[in-house]
Amino acid sequence: MEITNGIRTLYLSGKNQGRRFVSKKSVGVVRFWRSLNFAQRCYFSATCLFALWLYFDINSAAFELLMFSFVLVGVFKETWPKFMLVWNSLPGKAAILFVYAVIANFALASASGMVNDVTGVSASALPYSHNFALILMLPSWFFLTSTLLLFSAIILTPLYLLVLLLLKPIGIKRVWHPPEYRFVFTTAFVRYILTWGVFLKLIVIALQLGIVEPVADSDEGEVVTIDYAAGKLATEILRSEEGEVAALNKQASTAPVLEREPNNSSQQNAITKAQALANVTDTSKQDEVRQTIKQINADANELNNELDDVLRDAAEKSKSFRRMQRVALAHFIFEYEADARSRCAHTESSRVIELNDYEILQVTQNKDETNEIGFDYQVLACKSAAIGLGENK
């Protein structure tokens, strides 16, 4: 009974001490968490998720979406007040509108090219389809370009970090932040690392959306560069070893002269050692160099294979997305832009868009699998009661 009570007392005392230790640690964690603002908490959460992603090699789109969402929320939380400050000023508003006008102009030109690519005629003859193509392309253009512009400003963080380091000796610890803002330098550094990751992810998304085309045959140059570097490294190592052997041979060549001085035993031992080292081929170092070159080439091939897979997947998704846009535009042209009835003669199942008084664009459905968009477009002469058909009568 006494043993049981002793064990129980020991258990309760250990439990209480453990609770005190945990409570002290938890109080420290809570104080640290409460000292951070909303954006810093987002960065801290994203950093923890990034550490888990690296350590456990997590390959999950949902996990990456959660991690990058924390970064984006933190960045927008910090940059939105500054954006509104610029927007409320007249020069800032003019600059922002100018940037968006440039983006809209590029999107308008891209939409015109899409209409011409689908129909084979100028987009000016199909104003409604041109507007629909613009609607298809404008959201992705505005979203991605705005995000890239936002991150291009944040990528300039090293300059901000340099300014903080230069101003720290004179007592200025923060710039553009309120007095209660803590961990200014650490937050800027973590934000810089995380935004680079999000920036690279946005490049991949831009590739998948078709805004940025993958560079063709980019893998060959990378492989040649890595192999060339490995070859240069091996050449330099072998040259240094050959130089050492030549020096030993030169030192050993003086042996007959020095052999006339038998009293100098230290010189004689050095000569014997030099001759032995010069005559022995250091195959272990050569094998080590060859193994290093093979490992570098293997790692380079693996890296380039992964890069090829990413670029190939991005190219396929880009083609699929552009095909979807073309199909949607083709259906819009057939259903809404083209007319089922016209003064110009056309086949019964086709629809017509009048380009001018003498030409029409005939649109017919084509369900052949080789036709990607499912429609055929043909420019024909307008044969009406006044032109063509009337003359035949």
Q: Residue 332's pLDDT is what?
A: 93
- Confidence (pTM): 0.60
pLDDT band of 315, cuts 50, 70, 90: confident
Q: What is the CB neighbour count within 10 angstroms for residue 230?
A: 19
- Mean pLDDT, rounded, for 13-41: 71
- Mean pLDDT, rounded, for 75-85: 86
Q: Residue 20's pLDDT is what?
A: 59
Whether 41 contacts 187, CB under 8 Å: no
Q: Residue 132's pLDDT is what?
A: 94
Region of residue 183 (left: phi > 0; alpha: psi -120 to 50; beta: else): left
pLDDT band of 258, cuts 50, 70, 90: very low
Q: Please tell me which residue, 42 or 301, carries the higher pLDDT value.
A: 42
Q: Residue 90's pLDDT is what?
A: 92
Q: Residue 8's pLDDT is what?
A: 72
Helices in 253-366 by DSSP H: which ranges?
A: 255-258, 265-279, 283-332
Tens digits of residue pLDDT in 259-313: 444 445 555 555 555 555 545 445 566 567 667 777 777 777 777 777 777 777 7
What is the residue type of 93?
K
- Distance from C-alpha of 141 to C-alpha of 152, rounded to nearest angstrom: 16
Q: Residue 102's pLDDT is what?
A: 87
Of 129-133, 169-173, 325-329, the least confident: 169-173
Tens digits of residue pLDDT in 181-225: 778 778 888 888 888 888 888 777 777 666 665 655 444 444 444
DSSP 179: T
What is the DSSP track for 189-238? HHHHHHHHHHHHHHHHHHHHHTSSPPPTTHHHHHHHHHHHHHHHHHHHHH
Q: Which of 211, 215, 193 is nearest to 203 (CA)?
A: 211
Tokens 């800032």 belong to which residue? 92
Q: Residue 352's pLDDT is what?
A: 92
